[in-house]
Amino acid sequence: MAAVILYGTETGTAELVADAIADVLADEFDPSVYDMTDYSPEDLDPEDFLVVVCSTYGEGELPTGALPFADELDDIKPDLSGLRFSVFGMGDTVYDDTFNRGGEIMAEMLTKLGASEVGEHYRHDASSTEKPTDAGEAWAERLKATIKDA
């Protein structure tokens, strides 16, 4: 099974995390990494495992880099039945009520279209001392078993 890793970012950190996750998954799942601005929902394949890495911007919104993909999902409303995915969300607890909303919004959109979220929905906190790439690598190690079972 191949892993498709999509990232939505405002400052580039989600791209770094996506690359770190891909490095961990490389030996077993032949990952491909795409910026959400360059990926069409029509290319989603239920045979692949989808990994979404998404930051949160402003007052709990999607980052600019995720908007084209999210808008297209909303416009074409593809049937995503059979697609399995997991989310690595990024946010900052300073924004209490909207902490990590970007990843949650993406999960809600995909689930609404029939996809199934599996495994741990990770919520990285920028206020913590843990580097997002280190958190992504550790999460990806745990994700391997989920992908195998999917």
What tens digit of pLDDT does each residue of 81-92 get? 999 999 999 999
pLDDT score, position 82? 97
pLDDT at 8 over 80: yes
CB 6 within 8 A of CB 64: no
pLDDT at 119 over 80: yes
pLDDT score, position 66? 97
Tell me which long-range contacts 40-43 makes (C-beta under 8 A, separation of at least 24): 40/69, 40/72, 41/69, 41/72, 41/73, 41/76, 41/78, 41/80, 42/76, 42/78
Identify the band that residue 150 occupies on the pLDDT scale cut at 50, 70 and 90: confident
Which pTM value belongs to this model? 0.97
Nearest to 61 by CA among 126, 106, 12, 118: 106
Full domain range(s) for residue 89: 3-149
Give the span between the Cα atoms of 49 and 117, in whole angstroms. Answer: 10
Q: What is the mean pLDDT of the chain?
A: 96
Q: What CATH number corresponds to the domain at position 69?
A: 3.40.50.360
Domain count, the chain: 1
Nearest to 105 by CA among 139, 67, 77: 67
